[in-house]
């Protein structure tokens, strides 16, 4: 059960953030086998005063079109699966939303299964 957070600068297209979310969800289904209906996202747009990034960290030239994606998910995926996920998201955002590959910033936060409650105050995945 991934929880996805996507942060961008305010975009004049009111549907842009939703489009990004759709691409990320499709990429997770393809690259790391996230099942149907397992789609939980927080999509946030920020003004210039609340969106900070280094435009050249690690020699990667970023623009104001940078997209921050943080995915909290169960631990256990291989490094190869993670690399495929990064590539699939970046290529999908580029093809579907015109996001530059250099502007796709992804962070994975891995947690144990018992660290989730999907509702009703229960730990549905706890043994």
Residue 21 has pLDDT above 90, yes or no: yes
Helix (H) or strand (E) holding 4: strand 3-9
**Do residues 108 and 71 lie in contact, with contact meaning Cβ atoms separated by under 8 Å?**
yes
Q: Identify the residue whose tokens are 């891995």.
A: 110
66: left (phi over 0), alpha (psi -120 to 50) or beta: beta
Q: What is the pLDDT of residues 56-100, one digit of tens each?
A: 999 999 999 999 999 999 999 999 999 999 999 999 999 999 999
Residue 121 lies in a domain: no
**pTM given for the model:** 0.94
Residue 111 lies in a domain: yes
Residues 6+ apart with CB under 8 A from 26: 92
**Do residues 41 and 6 lie in contact, with contact meaning Cβ atoms separated by under 8 Å?**
yes
Report the CATH number that the domain containing residue 34 is assigned in CATH: 3.30.429.10
Residue 118 has pLDDT above 80, yes or no: yes
Residue 44 lies in a domain: yes
Q: What is the number of domains present in the chain?
A: 1
- How confident is the model at residue 11, as a pLDDT? 95
- Structural domain boundaries, residue 15: 3-115
Active site residues: 2
Task: For the sheet with 104-111, list strands across it.
Answer: 40-46, 3-9, 67-74, 104-111
């Amino acid at each position: 059960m991934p929880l996805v957070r996507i942060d961008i600068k305010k975009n004049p297209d009111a549907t842009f953030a939703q489009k990004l979310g759709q691409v990320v969800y499709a990429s997770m289904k393809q690259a790391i086998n996230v099942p149907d209906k397992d789609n939980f996202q927080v999509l946030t747009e920020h003004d210039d005063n609340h969106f900070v990034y280094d435009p050249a960290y690690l020699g990667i030239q970023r623009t104001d079109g940078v997209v921050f994606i943080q995915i909290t998910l169960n631990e256990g995926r291989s490094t190869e699966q993670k690399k495929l996920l990064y590539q699939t998201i970046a290529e999908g955002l580029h093809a579907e939303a015109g996001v530059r590959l250099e502007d796709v910033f992804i962070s994975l936060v891995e947690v144990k299964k018992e660290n989730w409650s999907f509702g009703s105050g229960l730990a549905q995945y706890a043994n």
